[in-house]
Amino acid sequence: MDNSRPNPTGKLAALSRQRLGDQIADALRNQILLGELQPGSNIPERETASALGVSRTPLREALVILEGEGLVSMSPARSPRVSNPSLENLTHLLYVQSALEALAGECACDQMTEQEFKHIEGLNLTLQAMSENADPIDFFTADMAFHEAIVAATKNAPLIKTHKQYNARLWRVRFMSSRKRIKRVSTLDDHSEIVEGLRTRNKQKTSAVLSRHLRTAIDNITSIFDEENQAN
Amino acid sequence: MDNSRPNPTGKLAALSRQRLGDQIADALRNQILLGELQPGSNIPERETASALGVSRTPLREALVILEGEGLVSMSPARSPRVSNPSLENLTHLLYVQSALEALAGECACDQMTEQEFKHIEGLNLTLQAMSENADPIDFFTADMAFHEAIVAATKNAPLIKTHKQYNARLWRVRFMSSRKRIKRVSTLDDHSEIVEGLRTRNKQKTSAVLSRHLRTAIDNITSIFDEENQAN
DNA sequence: CATTATTATTTTGTATACCAAATAATAAAT
DNA sequence: ATTTATTATTTGGTATACAAAATAATAATG
């Protein structure tokens, strides 16, 4: 966060083109997704600001941004907290994400270039190669990259942004869910079907498989919650 | 915006449960939707803050919120501006809104109470009664209320919020589009089909008609843009 | 010892102050 | 008169200051 040192171009860094608030939001978002900031944990303003070497003003700006994204909740006169969504809430998020990816699949059939298709196909191959031995985190990241690439191929900026935000809110449970390697086979089957749908530019099929794929995830996260409740 | 006077309960108003930033965001959002703040117009911070009787701090908070909603764009060292979306951007928004309402129709078939259905049905009847003689603004508001009621019946909070945000960004063009009364007949036909779908809790039909209904709106806004370009 | 009252401290909410970049205005030069 | 240089002013970005509420800590009381 230190803006006073010279940047690579030699210039004095001056005022970065990106506001501090945005950079801080990026940093905090990462910490939340990585689990360094646990759901329900407090984000005290002074402490966090000084830890990042900034004042409370841009930190609060970041918190307001993250609140808008649903990753942080702010109550009056209380420390901001990392959101801790209920199973119901996560289910609701997945329904929306399912609809968004179904739309993405459909639009991608129209808008996707051949190069983009090859990229998506390649990501799926990578995923298949990883299926046997890769770390959960790597497999999960690759899985997410596959879905993001499809959405990106639509060139629909609002869709891409909204999808990204929903992904962030779902990141944690979906990662926990993906640790159950048992699910990898059916995941890969779905992905192959999606790739086939895209190859033939079959909107109906691509859209339907993506929708089903995401709705299946609802069952997976439900079992995650059940296990946690049994443990307690 | 004056918080210093006693509130109706007699207490000193103290710190309102809602942050000033949120209240300001609501006020500015209204002004944008009503067209009092035109697309592309500047929102200078000092001037706007003093006009509202607040300091720049909560005003900036409001601007950051509205930027997240896509209603305002902030560039470094320039005055914040009311977003002025291109036809392409509006088209993209409508595709997403179409997918969201299709999902809403499907979920509403599952989640809607009989009372909620009666309410939706009633809104449609109101709309039909208005079709001949009502003001464009009233007809449009009733049209929007109909769609919002369907989304609300899903009880899916993230869906409701995202749909509301997309509605806000689309408000202006869709209002301009609705001024063409010629479209009212087909609008009402679609609505009646949607009501029938909901009555029979036919997910497939409800979802399909809602999706088509919204995608038709893309053609309507395209002609709005064409006319504007001819005028210039 | 437990429980309530009261005080002290921490923490958020908002306002103000200051700096640097951008724009507007003015002066200088061709 | 037009264009370029330079200065002044405005405006956004960030830090700091202060007020009010919430929490923690301490004292008082049954």
Range name among A109-118, A185-194, B47-56, B88-97 with the lowest pLDDT average: A185-194
In this model, does residue A5 exceed pLDDT 80? no
Gap between the Cα atoms of B178 and B190, Å rounded = 15
Domain-embedded: residue A191 = yes
Query: Which tokens go with A132?
Result: 């046997």
Residue A137 in this model has a pLDDT that exceeds 70: yes
Residues A65 and A96 in one domain: no
A15 belongs to a structural domain: no
Which of B96, B103, B107, B203 best probes binding to A when mutated, by most A CB atoms within 10 angstroms?
A: B96
Question: Taking CB atoms and an 8 Å cutoff, what residues of chain A touch B17?
Answer: 76
Same domain, A55 and A68: yes
* For residue A132, pLDDT beyond 90: no
A24 and A64 in a common domain:
yes
Return the CATH number at A56.
1.10.10.10
Token code pair at residue A201: 């530019």
Q: Do B77 and A166 touch (CB under 8 A)?
A: no
Q: Is residue A34 part of a domain?
A: yes
Spans of chain B below 70 pLDDT: 1-16, 232
**What pLDDT sits at residue A12?**
28
Question: Shortest CA distance to A104 belongs to which of A199, A177, A174, A208?
Answer: A208
**A147 and A194, same domain (yes or no):** yes
Write the pLDDT tens digit of every residue in B18-54: 999 999 999 999 999 999 999 999 999 999 999 999 9
Alpha carbon of B8 to those of B11, B180, B181: distances in Å? 8, 44, 44
- pLDDT digits over A40-76, tens only? 999 999 999 999 999 999 999 999 999 999 999 999 9
The interface predicted TM-score (ipTM) is 0.91
Are residues B219 and B160 both part of a single domain?
yes
Looking across all nucleic acid strands, the nucleotide with the smallest C1' to CA distance from residue A63 is: C12
Asked if the structure places residue B11 within a domain, the reply is: no
> pLDDT digits over A12-48, tens only?
233 467 999 999 999 999 999 999 999 999 999 999 9
Instruction: Please report which residue ranges of B34-113 form alpha helices under DSSP H.
Output: 45-52, 56-68, 87-111
Residues B72 and B184 occupy one common structural domain: no
- The structure tokens listed for A57 are 């003003």
Helix extents (H) in chain A: 20-33, 45-52, 56-68, 87-111, 114-130, 136-152, 157-178, 184-199, 203-231
Answer with the one of B66, B82, B98 that is the final residue of a domain.
Answer: B82
Mean pLDDT along residues A96-102 = 98
A70 with A125, same domain: the answer is: no
Same domain, A77 and A181: no
Q: How many domains does chain A have?
A: 2
Q: What is the pLDDT of residue A229?
A: 75
Assign A73 to helix, strand or coil. strand
- Considering the domain boundaries, does residue A125 fall inside one? yes
pLDDT of residue B87: 96
Token digits for B112?
């809607």
CA angle A18, A149, A122 (to 5 degrees): 130
What pLDDT score was predicted for residue A16?
61
Indicate whether A92 and A183 sit together in one domain.
Answer: yes
What's the pLDDT at B75?
A: 94
B207 at A interface, C-beta within 8 A:
no
Of B82, B97, B122, which closes a domain?
Answer: B82
Window 47-66 of chain A: CB closer than 7 A to strand D: 54-58, 61
Judge whether B9 lies within some domain.
no
* A5 shares contact with chain B (CB less than 8 Å): no
| Residue B231, amino acid | A
> Which structural domain, as residue segments, surrounds residue B181?
87-231
Mean pLDDT of A136-143: 92
**A contacts of B76 (beta carbons < 8 Å):** 15, 17-19
Strand C: which nucleotides have any atom within 7 A of a protein Cβ?
11-17, 20-23
Q: How far apart are CA B169 and CA A158, in angstroms?
A: 11
Residue B14 confidence (pLDDT): 37
Pick from A180, A168, A173: which is nearest to A136 by CA? A180
Q: Is residue B63 located within the same domain as residue B97?
A: no
Cα–Cα–Cα angle for A34, A40, A45, rounded to 5 degrees: 85
Answer with the one of A82, A98, A122 that is the final residue of a domain: A82
Look up the CATH number of the domain holding residue B198.
Answer: 1.20.120.530
| In a shared domain, residues B216 and B101 | yes
Residues forming a β-bridge with B82 = B72
Measured between beta carbons, the chain A residues lying within 8 angstroms of B70 are 158
Reply yes or no on whether the pLDDT at A8 is more than 50: no
Strands B72-73 vs B81-82: parallel, antiparallel or unpaired: antiparallel
Question: In whole angstroms, what is the distance from residue A152 CA to residue A167 CA?
Answer: 13
Provide the pLDDT for residue B132: 83
Is position A6 within any domain? no
B99 contacts A102? CB cut-off 8 A: yes
Q: Is residue B176 part of a domain?
A: yes
Those residues whose C-beta lies under 8 Å from the C-beta of residue B28, and which sit 6 or more positions away, are B37, B43, B48, B62, B63, B66, B72
Please tell me which of the candidates B68, B107, B169 has its beta carbon nearest to residue A95.
Answer: B107
- Considering the domain architecture, whether residues B93 and B28 belong to the same structural domain is answered as no
Residue B38 dihedral angles phi and psi, to the nearest 5°: -75, 150
In B, minimum Cα distance to A88 occurs at B156
